[in-house]
Structure 1
Amino acid sequence: MSEFRNAQAAARFQAAYDHALAALWPGPRTAIDVLGPYGTTRVHRTGTGTESGRPIVLLAASGGNSLMWHHHLGQLAEHHPVFALDPIGEPGASTQTAPIAGGADAAAWLDGVLAELGLTDAHLVGCSYGGWVALQHQLHHPGRVGSLTLLDPAGFNGFGFRFYAWLIAGGLAASAPRALRPRLARAVGNSAVLEEELMRLSRAAMGFRRALPVPPVLTDEELRRIDLPALFLLGARSALHDSAEVAARLERVLPSARVEIVPDAGHSLPMDAPDLVTERILAPSRT
C-alpha cells in the first residue's frame, strides 16, 4: 500500500500541504472525509449548490492531489459544485488502508466516493493517471457519471524512456535558479516546474512510497465500451505518448468521442494551457 516512510516524512508533507492549500486555493471550500473499503478519501468541495449546475469531479495525475487544479477552481466554481479529490494512494490528505491492485479496484474506490457524496450525472475530469482511473470507472461502473474530460490520459502507451526522462528533466529544471526556470520549462515542455508551491509540495512528497498499479494499455474492445460524451485533450508535445497516433486510434475505435490535440502543450496540460483546459471542462458541464 502507499504510505509515508515514517512519521517525520508524513509531518513534513502535511506542513507543505497545509501551506500550499492556504496559498493556492481560491475562495471558500469544505473538506469532506469519505470513508470506504480502501481508506479515507479527502474531498475538497467548492462552488455553488447542486441545483445551479452539473457537479464537476476532478481527479489528479500520478503523484498529485486536488491542489493541481488551483488554476481552474475559481471559474469552475462560479456556476458548478466542484469536488476535487485527493486520490487514495497518492500523496495528499487521504489515507489508504487496503491495496488497489488494478483497474477494477481503482474504479471501485472512485465509485464508492461518488456514491457517498450522492453524485450522479457528474462531469468527471481526469488528468494522466486520473484519466485512466476515470476510464476504468466507466468500464466497471457505467451510468454513474454523465460525461468525461480526459487530459492526456494514461492507458494508451507504456511508460517508456521518454516519459521518465521528461520527469527527471522537470525535476532538474524545478531545482534551477528561479530566473532560469521559464526558459528551462519551455525547453523540457513542462510548465509545472514554474509552480513553486506545487514543486515544494512535490519535494516534500519524496518521503511517500507510492504503490498503485501501472496502467495497462487499453484494448479496442474496452474503448468501444466508453458509452457517454467524452472529450480527449492531448498535448501535442506529450512525453507519455504520440498524440497524433492516440488521436487517430480514438477516431477509428471511438468515433463518438471528441478529440483535440493542443498545440505547444505537453503532458502537464492543466499548467501548460490552463485557460483552454478550463473552457473545455466547462463546455460539456453546461449540458
Structure 2
Amino acid sequence: MRISEFKSAHARDRYLAAYDRTVAELWPGERRALDVPTSFGSTRVHRAGPPTGRPVVLLPGSGGNALMWHRYVAGLAERHPVIAVDTVGEPGASTQTAPIADGRDGAAWLEELLAGLELTGAHLVGCSYGGWLALCHQLHHPGRAASLTLVDPAGFAAFGPRFYAWLVAGGLAAVAPRALRPRLSRLVGNSAILETELMALMRAGLGFRRALPVPPVFTDEELTRLQAPALFLLGARSALHDSRAVADRIDRLVPAARVEVVPDAGHALPTDRPDLVLDRILRQVVTA
C-alpha cells in the first residue's frame, strides 16, 4: 500500500517553508511544537494553554492540518491545554512512514499519539475526516478520551457527486482573484476559501500525494457501541450528508450523544459559524 508523501524533496521543502511562514502569521500567542513518534510516522503537534487542566485535542479535516484551528486556539487555551495536530498522512509537518489502511489503523495511530503525549481524559474535537478518526478511536480504544465534539464528521454517508462537486467548486473559487472570493464563497457554500493564508498554504501543498482511506459509513452496530459523551454539530446545508437524517440516526442509536443541526451552515462549519462552534466545544469540555 502507498503512503502519503511529497512528490519530491523540493516540493517538501517548498511546502514546509510556506507552513512555517503560515504558523508565524496565524498562530495566536505562545506555543510549543513537538514531534511524537508513532509506528505510522512522526506526528507534529502544537501545544498551547496552561500546563494543567482537561486537554483539548484538535483534529483537522481532510487536506488540512493544525492551522485550520488557528481561530479557536486563543479561546480554548484560556483555561485548557490545547493540542492541535497535524494528522499523519495529511499535508503538514508530520511524516508518514507506514500505510493507514482503514479506521482501525487510524485509531491505532491516534491512540499511539495520545499515549505518547501521556494524555488521558482528553476531549477530542474532530472536523470532517478528523471527526471520523475520533469516532474510530472511540470504537477501538474506548476509555482514553473522555468526550468528543464532532464537527460535521465523515462516516455517515458515502462521498457522492454533490460532495465532490462542492470540493471542486471550492478549489476553483480558492484560486480566483481575492476580490471575487467573498461572492464566490457564498455561491459555492464554502467559507473556508476566505482563509487567505490557508488557501496559499493549500496551493503550496499541490506537490503532496495523499494516500489515506475513504471513510466507510459507520454501521448501526458500531454506533451503538459509542459510550463516551459526544456532541455532534452538523451543518444544515452540508454537502457531505443529509444532516437531518444523520441527526435522526444518531438520536436513535447513540444514547450518550447530543446533536445540533446548525442553520445557515454547511460542511465548512468551523468557518461558517466559528463563534458557535467555539462556544459548543467549551460547553462540552465542561459538562461532558
After TM superposition, is the score higher than 0.5? yes
2:11 to 4, 9, 12: 9
CA distance in 2, matches of 1:184, 1:129: 24
* 1:187, distance to aligned residue in structure 2 (A): 1.2
* 1:253, distance to aligned residue in structure 2 (A): 1.2
1:38 to 34, 40, 43: 40
Matched, 1:27 2:26: no
Q: If the length of structure 2 is used for normalisation, what is the TM-score?
A: 0.98
Letter matched to residue 45 of structure 1: R
CA distance in 2, matches of 1:48, 1:269: 27
CA distance in 1, matches of 2:20, 2:13: 11
Q: Which residue of 2 aligns with 1:48?
A: 50
CA distance in 2, matches of 1:204, 1:268: 21
Q: Which residue of 1 aligns with 2:108?
A: 108
Q: Please list the CA deviations of residues 143-195 of structure 1 after superposition, one character each: whole Å capped at 9, or x if unmatched.
A: 00100000000000111111111011111111222222111111111111100
Q: Please list the CA deviations of residues 101-155 of structure 1 after superposition, one character each: whole Å capped at 9, or x if unmatched.
A: 1111100100001001110010000000000000000000000010000000000
Matched, 1:189 2:201: no
CA distance in 2, matches of 1:82, 1:190: 26
Q: Please list the CA deviations of residues 220-241 of structure 1 after superposition, one character each: whole Å capped at 9, or x if unmatched.
A: 1100111011000000111100
CA distance in 1, matches of 2:284, 2:231: 9
Q: Which residue of 2 aligns with 1:147?
A: 147
CA distance in 2, matches of 1:22, 1:57: 21
CA distance in 1, matches of 2:128, 2:284: 19
Q: Please list the CA deviations of residues 55-97 of structure 1 after superposition, one character each: whole Å capped at 9, or x if unmatched.
A: 0000000000000001100000000000001000000000011
* 1:255, distance to aligned residue in structure 2 (A): 3.1
CA distance in 2, matches of 1:179, 1:213: 36
Letter matched to residue 21 of structure 1: V
CA distance in 1, matches of 2:218, 2:210: 22
CA distance in 2, matches of 1:163, 1:122: 31
Mapping for residues 79-98 of structure 1, pairs under 5 Å: 79-98=79-98
Q: Please list the CA deviations of residues 219-268 of structure 1 after superposition, one character each: whole Å capped at 9, or x if unmatched.
A: 01100111011000000111100101101111111133100011111111
Q: Please list the CA deviations of residues 199-230 of structure 1 after superposition, one character each: whole Å capped at 9, or x if unmatched.
A: 00111111100001111100011001110110
Q: Which residue of 1 aligns with 2:262?
A: 262
Question: What is the aligned length?
Answer: 285
Matched, 1:208 2:208: yes
Name stretches of at least 5 consecutive residues in structure 2 with no aligned partner: none
- Superposition misfits of 4+ residues, deviation over 3 angstroms: none
CA distance in 1, matches of 2:271, 2:265: 9
